[in-house]
Structure 1
Amino acid sequence: MKTHFLRWAAALVVATPFASLAQKTQSYSWDNLPKITQPSFRKDTLNIQKLGAKPDGVTLNTQTINNAINTISQKGGGVVLIPKGIWLTGPIELKSNVNLHIQKSAIVLFTGDKSQYALIEGSYEGKKAARNQSPISATGVENVAITGKGIIDGNGDVWRAVNKAQLTEGQWKEKVASGGVVRADGKAWYPSEQFLKASVEGKSMLLTDGKKPADFADMKDFLRPNLLVLTQCKKVLIDGVTFQNSPAWCLHPLMTENLTIRNVVVKNPEYAQNGDGMDIESCKNFLIEGCTLDVGDDAICIKSGKDEEGRKRGMPTENGIIRNNVVYNGHGGFVIGSEMSGGARNLFVYDCTFMGTDKGLRFKSVRGRGGVVENIYAKNIYMKDIAQEAIFFDMYYFVKFATDSPRDERPIVNEGTPIFRNMKFENIVCHGAKKGIFVRGLPEMPIQNIAIENATLQAEEGAILIDASGITCKNVALLSEKTEPVISIENSQKITFDNIEVSKGAKRFFTISGDRTKSITVIKTKLEQASQKVEWKGGAIESVLSIMP
């Protein structure tokens, strides 16, 4: 759908520093999905127990496990076998051509001794930062895997702070008794005085002004690692393993190509701060299928760097398939943002179930991020008991307003303006949510060209569109308990509703507001389903609405 606005925006892209984000890429469709190359391995196998590792949960096996990985890699590749037992270890570094196979009934338990984790240059929300070394990591390797039916436990509770309100009384007492310190107001627990001091003082972990990781030794406890970090790797397979109790994010592939995550279970407590399940950042050609997630933050999340640093990296997350996954607890089932400054494109999400997540399909950003998110397709998404919105777009992430509507400020579009456009969602079912659809763009850059077809959304509220352009809802049932109005439109253009069903007893079908609202078309929809058809507010005029049979 080409409009005057889009032609203007396209011309602006050519004339501004973010022109590189609009480069041509291969076109994909449901009939032409991205292809992901799988790794392969020699059958040569080395059992860590034969090298002296002990599965007693007491012996620290760090050196033995890493020696086994190095030995197999240097011999041309193969399998490093972790058999049944509890294997206590420090950081593990993966190498090329090695399949780390964790047998069923095996638990790889990472030590709570933080001295075992070196301070390194890592990444935090897309920016260079001091971090503790990740329990499992790899940089620049190729043809690598973690497979099996075993469990990898990050021992995250020794790293994380937690608020008293997030725990039961019994859990809180147990936490306090375990050690650590309680904040002066008695409302939060911290693993150490060092962590408390860094947190309360708001210390930064970013590597700026020539700082080195060693300069952060006085706040080491605060620099929680992600459980698994794969940086600039190629041909990666993660299959069958359970990852749990991550100190921060759980699975974090970064600038990695040809990645497969299959039949994986990811578990974090609900109170796990930054306890994301999977953060796929600036990756190309990836498949996530058959996974189950129950986590403390976003579940399956797409990222590509933050603000100027992410734009300079210029690596979108692209050409991805996300299918046949189940998400239980999480801040979002499938999420893009908010650190998406390098962009995201050509993503296909289908046959997924979200049960009890805060939000379902979640897209978030804010002024200053920049980046283009486009060509996102989702179908056959089934949701139940969503705490907030089933379908959610918000360009005011972490911005607070006195009301639901932002001020009508329109700064000049520049490289920091996020662009979300060209998406299609079909066959979407939600049984229970606070809102069915929530779209809030920026006055200077609306959310553009989103099509929702064949959806049934049972929610307290129907649909809210603010600063949106080219939104189409076709064959959509908005079965909302709050029926006044079912659909709210504010300062939006080129909006089409085709064959819309609302709940019986709806009091008002539309509230249309804002003097920038234009071109609303209603097709094959009986506005008589509601006792009042339209309420006009805030400078909107009746001539913007066209009703067609």
Structure 2
Amino acid sequence: MNRLYASGLIPQTHQLPETPSFPEKQYSIVDFGAIGDGLTMNTEAVNRAIETCFSEGGGTVNIPPGIWLTGPIQLKSGINLHAQQGALVLFSRNFDDYPLIPTSYEGIRTVRCMSNIYGENLTDVAITGKGIFDGSGDAWRPVKRMKMTENQWKALTSSGWTDPSNLMWWPTERAIRGASTAKRLIAEGVLQTDAFEEARDFLRPTLLQLDRCRRVLLDGPTFQNSPSWCLHPWLCEHVTIRNVSVKNPWYSQNGDGLDLDSCRYVEVSDSQFDVGDDAICIKSGKDADGRELGVPCEDISIRGCVVYHGHGGFVIGSEMSGGVRNVSISDCLFIGTDTGLRFKSARGRGGIVEKIRIRNIRMTDIPKDAITFSMFYSHGGTDQPAAQKVTEKTPAFRDFLIEHIQCTSAHQAIGMKGLPEMPIENIRFEHIDINAKKGISLENVRDVHFTDVSVTPVQGPLFSLQACSGIRIERTKRPGTGQLYMEAGGAGTSDIEIRGIAGEAYEVNCALETDASQIRIYPEEDRGSNDEA
């Protein structure tokens, strides 16, 4: 029996999130003086409508068709903010409209500009309807030259500022200076908002930030053009996200789609993402801040989503210091994401990622890895340092079941790079079908099983192993004529078993330091006496 099922390590049935309910009372922002002409600033009118609805026991605040210019919208408990089809909520491009507040971003407690839509310590809150919320992110975001054509770069740099290297454009000079100021203040542990004032232009808001909220519903709207991350629930419970569209330019700096951060009981379904960074991402704090908070992201279900552009279609990390567990993603389609399934961390993070089930994922046109694990994210994934002492700062990834994956084209099928002191372990790949230029690369992994895996690399071996143990390979498709089946290196490589079709030859090359007797090949007729119970 599969160890994951036998030991109960795959995610169990998820508790469905509780959904909010609202009184039937209706309020229109028009009744509070809002004007949808795209010119009138409606911050006071919108927030007065929300405050009145809240003070009278809650209900629905309607945004009718129109172009509604506004500063930050501050949500309240018991409020359903309903943007009707034809409504465009366009957020102010004036940085001074966004007060500085203490919050969490990129896994640490810090100070940022208030998000376009913000709420904290709320119960029963929703954003619904077919309207559009536009964060005016192009007014805030820096842009890397490498992501522009020469003509685009020339047009962009006709205004704003570039850094001394001329490799990054910034909207204001204060934004450039603010980067170093904010970095210094964060390193010093400063959380007083007034200390960050001179860095305001750098402290880009998220489009939606919900802190410590319970029973949250996002159903229907389009969220687009965020100054940094788009949707960021932090320390929230009972979150339902469905039928939403999340859009950012492909070049948008930190243009993540959805970042679920130390949340519990979440269901994401039937939504679309087309963004500039990671699309659907699971996080739980960074380094000491994340470990001290110690709140995992757990009991998460994601299904029926489509991702177009993004650095990763589904991502865990790299900020995962509080842990991630009991997550499932199924029946999703990734079209042209840089990587498909992306799992990343680094020394210093700590935290455990475990009990992850991924099934029925289809991908096409993936320019990097279809599936990637890297424990060297902050080092660019290329360092090969010696083993270090295992401490609370050592991250661990284990107990994944990845099954029924199809990818029509990728640069590499699967890449896994663990830490020598903490190998990635107990990962099952079943029913995998990937067309890729390169095959499967494993380094510092333990107890990884491949069953019914079809990968046909254009170049290199099907499997490349370095310092791996407990690898089980059964019923894999052979590479083309003249190609290696496996290349194995590292003195620690041991306990490798290959089982396949009787009569087929498997060409395996071993480095001098690798004990070739540790690689065992069994024809099909010998399976019964060698299979694990």
Measured at CA, do residues 2 and 413 of structure 1 come closer, stay the same or move farther in structure 2, by a change above 3 Å?
A: farther
Q: Which residue does 1:492 correspond to in 2?
A: 468
Distance in 2, Cα, partners of 1:69 & 1:201: 35
Q: Is the 8 A contact 2:95 2:201 kept in 1?
A: yes
**Residue 392 (str. 1) matches residue 372 (str. 2):** yes
Conserved 8 A contact 1:207-1:213: no
**What's the counterpart of residue 113 of structure 1?**
94
SS at match of 2:354: strand
- Equivalent-residue separation in structure 1 for 2:44 and 2:448 (angstroms): 57
Amino acid at match of 1:189: W
| Letter paired with 1:187 | L
Is 1:368 matched up with 2:348? yes
Give the residue type in structure 2 aligned to 1:422: D
For 2:482 and 2:22, the matched residues in 1 are separated by: 61
CA contact (8 A) 1:509 1:527 kept: no
Letter in 2 for 1:255: L
Match of 1:53 in 2: 34
Count, aligned residues: 520
* 1:149-202 deviation line (CA, Å, top 9, x unaligned): 01000000110111233123443343234x322334433321111112234778
Is residue 2:291 matched to residue 1:311?
yes
Q: Pick the aligned partner of 2:52 from 50, 71, 74.
A: 71
- Per-residue CA distance 1:452-496 (angstroms, 9 max, x = gap): 0001011011100100001000000011111x3111011111000
Equivalent pair of 2:280/2:314 in contact (CA under 8 Å): yes
> Does the CA contact (< 8 Å) of 1:498 and 1:525 recur in 2?
no
Q: In structure 1, what is the equivalent of residue 432 of structure 2? A: 455
Residue 469 (structure 2) pairs with residue 469 (structure 1): no
Whether 1:480 aligns to 2:461 is no
Give secondary structure in 2 for the equivalent of 1:174. Answer: helix
C-alpha spacing 1:400/1:56, structure 2 compared with 1 (3 Å): closer
**CA distance in 2 between partners of 1:368 and 1:506 (Å):** 43
Q: For 1:370 and 1:538, locate their aligned partners in 2 and report how far apart those are by CA, in whole Å.
A: 34
2:484 pairs with one of 495, 503, 508: 508
Is the aligned partner of 1:344 residue 2:356? no
Change (3 A) 1:526 1:132: farther
Output the TM-score relative to the length of structure 2.
Answer: 0.94
In the alignment, what sits opposite 1:542?
516
Counterpart contact for 2:9–2:399, Cα < 8 Å? no
Q: TM-score, normalised by structure 1?
A: 0.91
| d(CA) in 1 for partners of 2:398, 2:380 | 24
What is aligned with 2:139? 158
Distance 2:9 2:502 in 1: 42
User: Quick check: 2:410–2:436 contact (8 Å CA) kept in 1?
Assistant: yes
2:101 matches 1:123: no
Counterpart secondary structure, 2:312: coil
Offset at 1:545?
Answer: 1.1
Q: Is the 8 A contact 2:406 2:432 kept in 1?
A: yes
Match of 2:171 among 181, 185, 191: 191
Check conservation: 2:11, 2:356, Cα contact below 8 A. Answer: no
The residue number in structure 2 matching 1:12 is none
Q: How does 1:259-278 map to 2 (within 5 A)?
A: 259-278=239-258
Deviation for aligned residue 1:528: 3.9
Aligned partners of 1:81 and 1:132: how far apart in 2?
A: 26
Q: 1:174 to 1:50 in 2, by over 3 A?
A: farther
Q: Give, as a single letter, the amino acid of the residue that structure 2 aligns with 1:519.
A: D
CA distance in 2, matches of 1:405, 1:538: 22
- Residue from 406, 413, 417 that aligns with 2:384: 406
Alignment of 1:135-146 (within 5 A): 135-146=116-127
Of 268, 274, 296, which aligns to 1:294?
274
* Structure 1 partner of 2:528: none
CA 1:361/1:529 → structure 2, altered by over 3 Å: closer, same or farther? Answer: farther
Alpha-carbon displacement from aligned partner over 1:276-295 (angstroms, at most 9, x marks no partner): 00000000000110110010
Over 3 Å counting, the alpha-carbon distance change for 1:210 and 1:164 in structure 2 is closer
The letter for the 2-side match of 1:113 is N
Residue from 357, 364, 379 that aligns with 2:359: 379
Report SS of the residue matched to 2:223: strand
Task: Specify whether residues 527 and 428 from structure 1 end up closer, same or farther in structure 2 by C-alpha distance, changes over 3 A only.
Answer: farther
Distance 1:521 1:405, change over 3 A: farther
Q: What corresponds to 1:332 in structure 2?
A: 312
User: What one-letter code is carried by the residue in structure 2 that aligns with 1:163?
Assistant: K
1:425-464 matches, cutoff 5 A? 425-464=402-441
User: Aligned with 2:226: secondary structure?
Assistant: coil
* 1:212 maps to which of 186, 192, 210: 192
* Aligned mates of 1:216, 1:428 — CA distance in 2: 46
Contact 2:10/2:355 (<8 A) preserved? no
Question: Is residue 83 from structure 1 mapped to residue 83 from structure 2 by the alignment?
Answer: no
Given that 2:111 and 2:191 are in contact with CA atoms closer than 8 Å, whether structure 1 keeps it comes out as no
Q: Distance in 2 between matches of 1:522 and 1:221?
A: 57
Quickly say closer, same or farther: Cα 1:240–1:446, change in 2 above 3 A.
same
**1:424 maps to amino acid:** L
Decide whether the 8 Å contact of 1:90 with 1:117 is kept in 2: yes
- Unpaired runs of 5+ residues, structure 1, are 4-24
Give the aligned residue type for 1:116.
D
CA distance, structure 2, for counterparts of residue 88 and residue 200 of structure 1: 32
Give me the CA root mean square deviation: 2.0
5+ residue gaps, structure 2, are 524-533
Code of the aligned partner of 2:509: E
Between the two proteins, what is the percent identity of the paired residues?
A: 44
Residues 1:461 and 1:506: Cα distance change in structure 2 (over 3 Å): farther
Query: What CA deviation, in whole Å up to 9, does each residue of 1:104-146 have, x standing for no partner?
Result: 1100000001111011112221111121111111000000000
Matched, 1:520 2:496: yes
Shift of 1:356: 0.6
